C-alpha cells in the first residue's frame, strides 16, 4: 500500500511539476520577449528615410547597453541594396538575416550565431514611408538572464515538489501503519487464543473491524459448541453402551444358559444407541454449512412415496405452498420427515395429513394422524431415547428422539399436540426458513 501510494504521488507530482514548469517558463520567456518587442517598436517608430534613401533615426534608444561593445544587447537595420546599419554594441559583428518575411508579424527565435553568446532575436520586415525597400529591423539580447531565471525557477520547483512528495509519502506511510494497527492488535489477540491464554477476542476494536471480530468470536463459540457436543455425544454413547456390555460380560462370566438370547437383546440395544448417536453426529457435522438449504415440498413427496409402499393402506394428504425452503440439509430433512410420517402411518388409523406453512421466519410442518394419540402427560416422555408407548409394533423408540435432536441442531423445535381435525397425534415441526 505504501509503495503504491508513493508511486502514485510521484507520478502526480511529476506530471503537475512538468505542467507548472511549462506554464512558468513560458510566462518568463513571454515577459522577456515583450521587452524585446517594445525595443523593436521604439526602433521602428524612430526610423525615417533621409534624402539619400538611407535609414536615419530621429532619436536614440535610451538603453546604454546598445552603446557598449558586446554588451549582449544589439539592434540592426538592413535592407536590400543598402549598407547594414548596426548598433555600436555589435562593434565588428553583424546579425544574420535569413529569407525575407512576406508578412508584417514579429518573428522571435533563438540564435547561436555568436559563439560566446546565445541570443534571443526579435525581427520584423517594414516598408517605411518614402521608401520602396523592405527594411528588416532586428533586436537581439543574450539569453543569459532569461536562462538564469528559468534555472532558478526550476531549482525552486524541484526542491518544493521533492519536499512535498517526501511529506505526502511519509503521511501515507503513517496513515497506512496507523490504519493497519488494529489488524496487528487482532493478530496478537488471535495468537493469545491459539496459545490458550484467552477464549475469545476481547477489548474495544475500531468500528471498521468490529464486525469481523464479532464474526470471529461467533465462529469460536460455534466451534466450542460443536466440540462440546462431540464430547457429550461420546460420553452419552459410552454410558449407553456400558450397561449392555456389563450385562453381556456378566452373562458370559457366569456361563448363563440364556447367553445367546442375552447377547442378541443387548446387541440390539447397543445398535439402537449407535444409530441414534451416528444420526446426530452427522447432523452436527453438516450444520457447519451456512448455505444449507432444502426445499420442503420435494422432501415431503419423496417420503410420501416411500411410506406409501410400506403402508399401502394408509392415505397421505399434503397441503401448503410448494416454494418453502428450510435452513437444513436435505438428508437431515428427509430423515426427520421420514420418521414423522412413518410413525403417523404406523400408529395412526389409516389417514395422515401433512400441512406446510411459514410463520415468524420459520417453516412449520404439521403431521397429523387419526390414531389414538398420546396422553398429554406422556408427550414429553415419549420423545426421550428408547421410550415406546406401544410395544406391540416393531421399532427402536428412537424416531422422535432423533427428530428432536436433529431439529434442535438447526435451531428448530418439535412439539407433540392433539389433532383437532383427525383426533390423533399432531407433531409440530418448526425449522428456520432459508432467506
Residue 324's domain is classified under what CATH number?
3.30.565.10
Same domain for 249 and 141: no
Confirm if 177 and 165 have CB atoms less than 8 A apart: no
pLDDT at position 130: 81
What does DSSP say about strands 55-57 and 47-49: parallel, antiparallel, or unpaired? antiparallel
If one counts the domains in the chain, the total is: 3
Domain assignment present for 199 = no
Rounded to whole angstroms, what are the CA distances from 198 to 169, 192, 206, 220, 229? 38, 6, 20, 11, 21
Domain assignment present for 162 = no
Same domain for 264 and 334: no
Cell numbers placing 318: 399434503
Q: Is 236 exposed, middle or buried (0-12, 13-18, 19+ CB in 10 A)?
A: middle
Rounded to whole angstroms, what are the CA distances from 291 to 221, 285, 287, 326, 330? 19, 14, 9, 11, 12
Please state, in angstroms and rounded to a whole number, the distance separating the CA atoms of residues 112 and 109: 10
Same domain for 366 and 261: no
Same domain for 136 and 38: yes
Range of the domain at 392: 291-432
What distance, in Å, lies between the first and last C-alpha atoms of the chain? 38
Same domain for 382 and 257: no
Please state, in angstroms and rounded to a whole number, the distance separating the CA atoms of residues 254 and 248: 10
Phi, psi of 133 (to 5 degrees): -85, 140
pLDDT at position 203: 76
pLDDT at position 280: 63
Same domain for 256 and 354: no
Picking from 205, 230, 233, 229, the residue whose alpha carbon sits closest to that of residue 217 is 205
Largest CA distance in the chain: 161
Same domain for 252 and 321: no
Please state, in angstroms and rounded to a whole number, the distance separating the CA atoms of residues 406 and 420: 27
Same domain for 244 and 136: no
Domain assignment present for 201 = no
Same domain for 117 and 83: yes
Same domain for 376 and 330: yes
Domain assignment present for 116 = yes
Interior angle at CA 231, CA 225 and CA 233, nearest 5: 100
Neighbouring-strand partners of residue 430: 364, 413
pLDDT at position 192: 83
> In which element (H, E) is residue 325 found?
strand 325-326
Domain assignment present for 191 = no
Confirm if 170 and 5 have CB atoms less than 8 A apart: no
How far is Cα of residue 388 from the mean position of the Cα atoms in its chain? 56
Rounded to whole angstroms, what are the CA distances from 365 to 300, 332, 340, 433? 10, 15, 10, 12
Same domain for 129 and 6: yes
Same domain for 304 and 348: yes
pLDDT at position 384: 64
Q: Where are the alpha helices (DSSP H) in 287-393?
A: 296-310, 330-347, 379-382
- State the CB neighbour count (10 A cutoff) for residue 279: 20
| Domain boundary pick from 120, 150, 180 | 150
Instruction: Return averaged pLDDT per consecutive 10 residues of the chain, 435 residues in all.
Output: 91 94 95 94 90 83 88 92 89 88 88 92 90 90 94 94 94 89 85 82 80 87 78 71 81 83 83 70 57 87 91 92 91 88 90 93 94 83 54 47 83 90 91 87
Amino acid at each position: 500500500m505504501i509503495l503504491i501510494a508513493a508511486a502514485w504521488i510521484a507520478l502526480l507530482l511529476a506530471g503537475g511539476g512538468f505542467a507548472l514548469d511549462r506554464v512558468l517558463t513560458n510566462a518568463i520567456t513571454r515577459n522577456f520577449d515583450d521587452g524585446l518587442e517594445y525595443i523593436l517598436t521604439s526602433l521602428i517608430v524612430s526610423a525615417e528615410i533621409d534624402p539619400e534613401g538611407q535609414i536615419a533615426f530621429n532619436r536614440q534608444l535610451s538603453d546604454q547597453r546598445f552603446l557598449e561593445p558586446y554588451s549582449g544587447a544589439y539592434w540592426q537595420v538592413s535592407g536590400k541594396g543598402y549598407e547594414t546599419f548596426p548598433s555600436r554594441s555589435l562593434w565588428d559583428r553583424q546579425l544574420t538575416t535569413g529569407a525575407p518575411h512576406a508578412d508584417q508579424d514579429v518573428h522571435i527565435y533563438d540564435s547561436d550565431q555568436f559563439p560566446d553568446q546565445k541570443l534571443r532575436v526579435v525581427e520584423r520586415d517594414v516598408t517605411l514611408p518614402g521608401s520602396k525597400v523592405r527594411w528588416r529591423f532586428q533586436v537581439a539580447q543574450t539569453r543569459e538572464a532569461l536562462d538564469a531565471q528559468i534555472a532558478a525557477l526550476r531549482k525552486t520547483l524541484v526542491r518544493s515538489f521533492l519536499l512535498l512528495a517526501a511529506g505526502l509519502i511519509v503521511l501515507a506511510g503513517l496513515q497506512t501503519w496507523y490504519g493497519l494497527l488494529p489488524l496487528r492488535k487482532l493478530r496478537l489477540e488471535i495468537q493469545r487464543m491459539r496459545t490458550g491464554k484467552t477464549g475469545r477476542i476481547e477489548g474495544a476494536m475500531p468500528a471498521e473491524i468490529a464486525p469481523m471480530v464479532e464474526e470471529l468470536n461467533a465462529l469460536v463459540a460455534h466451534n466450542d459448541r460443536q466440540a462440546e457436543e462431540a464430547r457429550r455425544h461420546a460420553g452419552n454413547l459410552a454410558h449407553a453402551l456400558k450397561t449392555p456390555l456389563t450385562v453381556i460380560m456378566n452373562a458370559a462370566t457366569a456361563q448363563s444358559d440364556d447367553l445367546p438370547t442375552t447377547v442378541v437383546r443387548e446387541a440390539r440395544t447397543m445398535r439402537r444407541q449407535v444409530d441414534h448417536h451416528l444420526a446426530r453426529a452427522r447432523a452436527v457435522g453438516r450444520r457447519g454449512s451456512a448455505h444449507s438449504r432444502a426445499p420442503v415440498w420435494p422432501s415431503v413427496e419423496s417420503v410420501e412415496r416411500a411410506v406409501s409402499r410400506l403402508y399401502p393402506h394408509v392415505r397421505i394428504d399434503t397441503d401448503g405452498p410448494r416454494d418453502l425452503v428450510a435452513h437444513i440439509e436435505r438428508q437431515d430433512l428427509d430423515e426427520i420427515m421420514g420418521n414423522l410420517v412413518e410413525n403417523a402411518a404406523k400408529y395412526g388409523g389409516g389417514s395422515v395429513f401433512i400441512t406446510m406453512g411459514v410463520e415468524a421466519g420459520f417453516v412449520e410442518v404439521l403431521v397429523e394422524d387419526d390414531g389414538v394419540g398420546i396422553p398429554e402427560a406422556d408427550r414429553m416422555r415419549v420423545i426421550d431415547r428408547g421410550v415406546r408407548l406401544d410395544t406391540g409394533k416393531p421399532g427402536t423408540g428412537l424416531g422422535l428422539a432423533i427428530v428432536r435432536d436433529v431439529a434442535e441442531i438447526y435451531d428448530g423445535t418439535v412439539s407433540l399436540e392433539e389433532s383437532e381435525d383427525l383426533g390423533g397425534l399432531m407433531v409440530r415441526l418448526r425449522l428456520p426458513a432459508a432467506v
